[in-house]
Amino acid sequence: MTKQELADRIRAASFLEGTFTLRSGRTSNFYVDKYLFETQPEILAEVGKRLAEHVGSDTTRIAGAELGGVALAAATSMACGLPFLIVRNKKKEYGTSKDFEGALVKGDRILLVEDIATTGGQVLEAAKTLTQAGATVERIVAVVDRMEGARDNIESAGFAFDSLLNARDLRLPGAE
């Protein structure tokens, strides 16, 4: 599948028009519903393969924030053979009371995967959780960068950022 074929498949599966409130609190006249493309096996497998191409030679684990990053981290893990972590949005208040699920060893080097990056808020919270646990986040890679500030925010926080696709690739409204 070419990059444009992937973009077309993701757009066809998940592009919605209307009025939507984004996680950032902003209102948008369109929404890319990650669950609509992440639940399609052919798209998810291709995304996992492409995310795995961003694994560095020193990467020891893949991580994704709940809920949207879980399928991406699992698909990437299967594509590259590295274990993955699930970063919780809120610390579990029972059982082990962990901030993340899966084994993390201090010094682990992480590829952190993200679904849709708008401002980067959620993925930056996940990166903070991982670094506080003693890991190094080598790179953050989103499936789609909406081109609304995520890159600047993530890079300003000191993390390398990449995306498989951006707003132009998906022909999103306002993308030039």
Q: Both tokens of residue 33?
A: 């519903």
Predicted confidence at residue 150, as pLDDT, reads 96
* pLDDT tens-place string over residues 94-126: 555 678 999 999 999 999 999 999 999 999 999
DSSP H or E segment with residue 89: none
Q: Are 169 and 143 in contact (CB under 8 A)?
A: no
* pLDDT tens-place string over residues 21-67: 988 788 989 899 999 999 999 999 999 999 999 999 999 999 999 99
Q: According to the CATH classification, is domain 48-166 in 3.30.70.580?
A: no
Q: Which residue ranges make up each domain of the chain?
A: 48-166
Kindly report the number of other CB atoms within 10 A of residue 50's CB atom.
19
End-to-end C-alpha distance for the chain, whole angstroms = 24
* pLDDT tens-place string over residues 121-166: 999 999 999 999 999 999 999 999 999 999 999 999 999 999 999 9
